[in-house]
């Protein structure tokens, strides 16, 4: 394998425009415009935990950045820069090349500059570890937090839910899908589309927001708890792809509510903002679907109640579901 320095120079050093200083010195230097706040987040992917060893390196490069962009999107921030830290077991130079191509294709699409990172060998027998620290900017006070949902808000979600979980189940041989559905769901798992444009368009519209990475049920409960509210969710309103709609209802609901890796945005907005939410979805080119409402009352246990389209309460057994255990 080429030396660490050669790999960094060849595959991770790019000229920067926005940053004052990029890869090559002890630190990068970033300027933050007056009146802006820096949004910062880190997300780590570990082989064998978050992805299968042997995953296509181009897709892995994409996903490593995408999961971080999703966090920036979920604050309504504009992404600007990133750090990439890698522990490489035995990856060869060809692997690093293709990984970097996947990473930069998505970075370029969102105007993100790679300004630094760290590259090291994994311990003998150790897993491939990929970590991105991402930076974004948002006008001071305008970030869309998860603790600011208000009673009476609608609950919305972008895109479709559960595709990645179904893709994971297919890769593990737990469900059989026709080739087109399988390819679609596996692509949703391996190449998520971070909803950056939608997050930006929802500034000043949404009250509370987060990205759905661990299953909508748990993530909506995070918004409810953080905002000292509860929520009601109409499971018949959940946006499902054709692949999910082709599955038994029980499996589809489990994937949509308790699967992981959706990287969609779940947000709340006042009823008076419905037209503006729809317009934000159209401007970002992403479907937005109203799936429930925020209720006053912090003490509801559980914090999220489920109903069908007729408003009848449903007793869904979603607890104990482990998204690495498969649906």
Q: Tell me the HSE value of 290 on the side-chain side, using a 13 A CA sphere.
A: 16
Q: Which is nearer to Mg ion, 117 or 139 (CB)?
A: 117
User: Is 24 a residue that touches Mg ion (CB under 5 A)?
Assistant: no
The distance of closest approach from Cβ of residue 119 to ligand ADP in the complex, given in angstroms and rounded to an integer, is 4
Query: Considering CB under 6 A, how many residues would be counted as binding ligand ADP?
Result: 13
H or E element that contains 196: helix 196-201
Residue 26 touches ligand ADP, criterion: CB under 6 A: yes
Instruction: Report the site for ligand ADP in 187-216 (rule: CB under 6 A).
Output: none
Among residues 118, 174, 236, 250, which is the contact residue for Mg ion, using CB under 5 A?
Answer: 118
Sheet containing strand 113-121, strands side by side: 36-46, 129-139, 78-88, 113-121
Number of helical H runs and strand E runs in the chain? 10, 11
Binding mask 58-87 for ligand ADP (x = CB under 6 A): --------------------------x-x-
Q: How many residues does the chain have?
A: 327
Cβ(115)–Cβ(20) under 8 Å?
no
What is the end-to-end Cα distance of the chain in Å, rounded?
39
Interaction pattern, residues 97-136, with ligand ADP; x per rule: CB under 6 A: -----------------x-xxxx-----------------
Q: Which is nearer to Mg ion, 92 or 118 (CB)?
A: 118
Task: Tell me if 23 contacts ligand ADP by CB under 6 A.
Answer: yes
Tokens of 236: 């018949």
In the block, residue with structure tokens 């802006």:
36
Look at residue 269 and give the partner it binds from Mg ion, ligand ADP, none, a contact being a CB closer than 5 to 8 Å depending on partner kind.
none
- The phi, psi pair for 322, rounded to 5°, reads -115, 115
Task: Give the footprint of ligand ADP on this chain (CB under 6 A).
Answer: 8, 12, 23-26, 84, 86, 114, 116-119
Task: Give the footprint of Mg ion on this chain (CB under 5 A).
Answer: 118
């Amino acid at each position: 394998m080429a030396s660490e320095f050669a790999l960094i120079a060849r595959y991770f050093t790019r000229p920067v425009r926005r940053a004052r200083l990029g890869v090559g010195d002890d630190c990068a230097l970033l300027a933050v415009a007056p009146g802006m706040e820096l949004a910062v987040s880190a997300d780590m992917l570990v082989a064998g935990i978050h992805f299968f060893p042997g995953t296509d390196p181009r897709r892995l490069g994409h996903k490593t950045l995408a999961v971080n962009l999703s966090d920036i999107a979920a604050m309504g921030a504009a992404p600007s820069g990133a750090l990439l830290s890698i522990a490489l077991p035995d990856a060869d130079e060809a692997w690093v090349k293709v990984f970097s191509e996947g990473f930069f294709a998505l970075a370029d699409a969102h105007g993100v500059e790679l300004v630094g990172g760290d590259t090291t060998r994994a311990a003998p027998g150790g897993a491939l570890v990929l970590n991105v620290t991402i930076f974004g900017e948002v006008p001071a006070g305008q970030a869309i937090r998860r603790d600011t949902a208000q009673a009476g808000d609608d609950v919305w979600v972008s895109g479709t839910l559960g595709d990645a979980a179904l893709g994971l189940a297919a890769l593990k041989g737990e469900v059989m899908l026709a080739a087109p559905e399988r390819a679609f769901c596996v692509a949703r798992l391996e190449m998520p589309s971070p909803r950056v444009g939608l997050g930006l368009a929802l500034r000043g519209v949404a009250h509370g927001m987060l990205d759905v990475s661990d299953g909508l049920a748990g993530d909506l409960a995070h918004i409810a708890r953080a905002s000292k509210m509860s929520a009601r969710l109409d499971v018949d309103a959940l946006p499902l792809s054709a692949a999910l709609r082709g599955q038994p209802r029980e499996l589809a609901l489990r994937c949509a509510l308790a699967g992981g890796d959706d990287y969609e945005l779940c947000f709340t907005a006042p009823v008076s903002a419905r037209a503006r939410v729809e317009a934000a979805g159209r401007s970002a080119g992403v479907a937005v679907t109203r799936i429930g409402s925020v209720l006053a009352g912090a003490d509801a246990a559980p914090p999220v109640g489920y109903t069908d389209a007729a408003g009848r309460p449903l007793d869904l057994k979603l607890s104990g579901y482990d998204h690495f255990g498969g649906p």
